[in-house]
Structure 1
């Protein structure tokens, strides 16, 4: 059961746009910690197997992006999408998805996912180590509600999706019967 769990403190290596850098790729490295993202805020964190993958790009990320205003009305300050991809990939994916509301977090080395107990092998798909699909409502760095897809294991033959969907989190926040899982 992850409700009540304090998120692990890690450093995420991000790339941020900085026009002072100049040139065709005006980005610089900026390290951000778990506290930088989660302290003093009530947020939704959702994690998925990979940027640019079908379910993630077609349903989960766009669903959270479209539902952002409604989530804010229900007391959510930020929505974060985390994946075991580097910052270059996550930034390009955010750009390709025309994100305005959801912010991406690169867990390039998988350290956060590992410390959350959510790092799984996806060698059967040629991915290597990736995050299992889940979502959480996090208040000031502590998990308030946890939504994990069933069947977590290495090299799972399917990609379950539903429990961690934006629709399910909205139902939970509205008290409409969608329960978080242990």
Structure 2
């Protein structure tokens, strides 16, 4: 659906560890752009409704985290998890999940998600505006492959999960490698 689409140019407000600060909260603000994350790399980006939510924390994020070496063996340089949450929440979630391979991107204002056409209302759950669940293989800032859960709409009664799973993305990568090898 969005293959060939260039990612929107957005500035993300992140908090990064800075040991020179000391104390209990050694973090400082650092703005990062779409280019900082995606330029010159082939990456997986997956976005989900919220940090600490059941499907995201139990299946999707751990699947990408634990499968990183397999993804890397299939030409992936980095894996990013995005959510319409602020950097404080995303960092705490990454810490609670013991992430070593997946990096989190906070889209606190939802600007990237809105410009991707994936911002939905989740008022029925008390979430407000959030991302619809999707994954993408992105090559140098351009979407190579797109995996969107069915039923994109505001206040969806369910949280579809499967199309954007690590297993589905890996299947694409394996098939793409076979296609390249066959040429």
What's the TM-score bracket when you normalise by the shorter of the two chains? over 0.9
Per-residue CA deviation, residues 104-129 of structure 1 (Å, 9 max, x unaligned), is 00000000000000000000000000
Hey, which bits of structure 1, 4+ residues long, moved more than 4 A? none
Q: Where does structure 1 lack aligned partners over 5 or more consecutive residues?
A: 177-182
Query: Which residue matches 2:180?
Result: none
Distance 2:21 2:32 in 1: 19
Aligned length: 176
Q: Does 1:117 align with 2:124?
A: no
TM-score (norm 2): 0.95
Distance 1:71 1:23 in 2: 37
Tell me the CA shift for residue 22 of structure 1: 1.3
Query: Which residue matches 1:73?
Result: 73
Q: Does 1:36 align with 2:44?
A: no
Q: Where does structure 2 lack aligned partners over 5 or more consecutive residues?
A: 177-183
Distance 2:103 2:25 in 1: 20
Q: Does 1:12 align with 2:21?
A: no
Query: Which residue matches 1:163?
Result: 163
TM-score (norm 1): 0.96
Query: Which residue matches 1:61?
Result: 61
Tell me the CA shift for residue 21 of structure 1: 1.0
Distance 1:55 1:66 in 2: 15
RMSD of the alignment, in Å?
A: 0.7
Query: Which residue matches 1:101?
Result: 101
| Range that drifts further, 112-121 or 167-176 | 167-176
